[in-house]
Amino acid sequence: MNPPRPSLTPLDEALTAILAQAKPLPALETLDLLQADGRILRQDCRSALQVPPLDNSAMDGYALRSSDVPAPGVLLPISQRIAAGQVGQPLQPGTAARIFTGAPLPAGADAIVMQEQCELLEAEGGQQVRILHQPQAGDWVRRAGQDIALDAIALAAGQRLHPAALGLAASMGIAQLQVARRPKVVLFSTGDELVQPGSLAPQALPSGKIFNSNRYLLTSLLQRWGCEVEDGGILPDDRAATTQALQAAAQRADLVVSNAGVSVGDEDHVKPAVEALGALTLWSISMKPGKPFAYGHLRRSGGGQAHFVGLPGNPVSGVVTAMLLLRPFVLRLQGARDVAPRFMPAVADFAVPKPDSRREFLRVRRNAEGRLELFPNQNSGVLTSAVWGDGLVDKPAGSTIVVGDSVSYIPFADFF
């Protein structure tokens, strides 16, 4: 007899439930800026100075008092030259200062006129400049503190560090940042059908076997999300071996991830193994692809526990559940603030006339008009769809799509 059909948990409910379990790991480390890309900041960075520190010029040109140029054509003597990195003298009234981009505005000046709007003239006893444009106070002046005010928290704990964030930290004079330690993940593949690529020639693959693709896509995703991934290898479809391997992994991992074997078939040994070693608090999500996603924990001998996530075996289901559920989970383990995927409206250039009882995530890509095209084969075993595509459409349960409909779209790039 088939086991009873489990009730499926809505995706949003599942995400809320696993995030509630994802307490940020307490261990921190201090890294040089150049090591910190992609990591989660665990301190507030308060600025000890204003950025930029002084009012300065946004152009190569002339600094002056705007009131000295009531109309275009005024001729002013050039009283000084200020390059970036120098500080000039207070500007004598009725004169202009030659100034370069990034150089501090001299005291008394209130505007810059760009050099393209000036005419340089040699005169007896020095140079003069004809101002061909009537300036307004503030023209081409970058105000002190316009980027970061003194004492402002320019980067807050929970920020995922990326190139611009690292640049912003550097602009405050910060050289090192406190970030979350990388979560240690042990990743298992499961299934007697799996063969590691490289272990034999493709033509020599015995019938009934397939190459293990999920190991590579999941390892790469987890690494992009800040995890240190240990490959636990391929578990055979065997209850005792599965239980033993998960138990050992829980001792050294913050998170044990297994792939496949979490359905209810006779050859799916992961569920009973996790239940024997701890508990499964979530399994079977109302989404397509990706139904057999599981979450629970594994007790460690000697106390404590490791998180457990079971991902579906079909490669597209694995990618989609990893992006929508595992990513928020591992980022939150590192203390990240904004982890939920954010979809945006986009226009469908395709139709899906048949409704599905589950919420679907379709592999699509933007065409030259910015509208979305659908990969023709949406089967969860067709990994090509995720390589061809550049994102997902979130199609609500029971809905259909006609050409021209506004749909919810998220680019894959948002998950990296």
Q: Are 290 and 321 in contact (CB under 8 A)?
A: yes
Cβ neighbours of residue 368 under 8 Å, at least 6 residues apart? none
DSSP letter at 402 equals -
Closer to Mg ion at the Cβ: 29 or 193? Answer: 193
Stretch near ligand AMP under the rule CB under 6 A, chosen from 156-164, 180-188, 255-263, 326-334: 255-263
**Of 9, 47, 79, 189, which one interacts with ligand AMP (CB under 6 A)?**
189
> 118-123, long-range: CB within 8 Å, 24+ apart, which pairs?
118/61, 118/62, 121/75, 123/77
Minimum distance between the CB of residue 16 and ligand AMP, rounded to whole angstroms?
A: 25
Answer whether 85's CB lies under 8 Å from 53's CB: no
- Write the binding mask 242 to 261 for Mg ion: x where contact by CB under 5 A, - elsewhere: ------------------xx
Residue ranges in 4-63 that form contacts with ligand AMP under rule CB under 6 A: none
Task: Candidates 148-156, 254-262, 331-339, 354-362: pick the segment binding ligand AMP (CB under 6 A).
Answer: 254-262
- Closer residue to ligand AMP (CB): 83 or 210: 210
We find the least distance from the C-beta atom of residue 287 to ligand AMP, in angstroms, to be 15
The closest residue (CB) to Mg ion is 191
Please give the angle made by the CA atoms of 261, 265 and 270, to the nearest 5 degrees: 30
Q: Residues with Cβ < 8 Å from 375, sequence gap 6 or more?
A: 362, 363, 364, 365, 382, 384, 385, 388, 389
Residue span 191-230 as binding mask against Mg ion, x where in contact by CB under 5 A, dash where not:
x---------------------------------------
The DSSP annotation for 318-343 comes to HHHHIIIIIHHHHHHHTT-S--S---
CB 91 within 8 A of CB 97: yes
What is the size of the binding site for Mg ion (CB under 5 A)? Answer: 3
8-state DSSP, 94: T
Decide if 350 contacts 371 (C-beta within 8 A).
no
Site for ligand AMP in 72-131 (CB under 6 A): none
R_g (Cα) of the chain, nearest Å:
30
CA distance 254 to 305: 8
Residue nearest to ligand AMP (CB): 313
- Residue 75: both structure tokens together: 């001729």
Residue 312 CB, nearest approach to ligand AMP (Å): 6
Q: What residues numbered 309-348 form the site for ligand AMP, per CB under 6 A?
A: 313-315
Judged by CB under 6 A, the number of residues near ligand AMP is 17
Q: Which of 156, 211, 212 is nearest to 42 (CA)?
A: 156
Among ligand AMP, Mg ion, none, what does residue 304 contact (CB within 5–8 Å per kind)?
Answer: none
Using CB under 6 A, which of the segments 25-33, 36-44, 154-162, 210-218 binds ligand AMP? 210-218
> In this chain, which of 260, 306, 348, 364 binds ligand AMP, going by CB under 6 A?
260
Distance (Å, whole) CA 289 – CA 319:
9
Binding site for Mg ion (CB under 5 A): 191, 260-261
Binding site for ligand AMP (CB under 6 A): 189, 191, 193-194, 210, 212-215, 259-261, 263, 265, 313-315
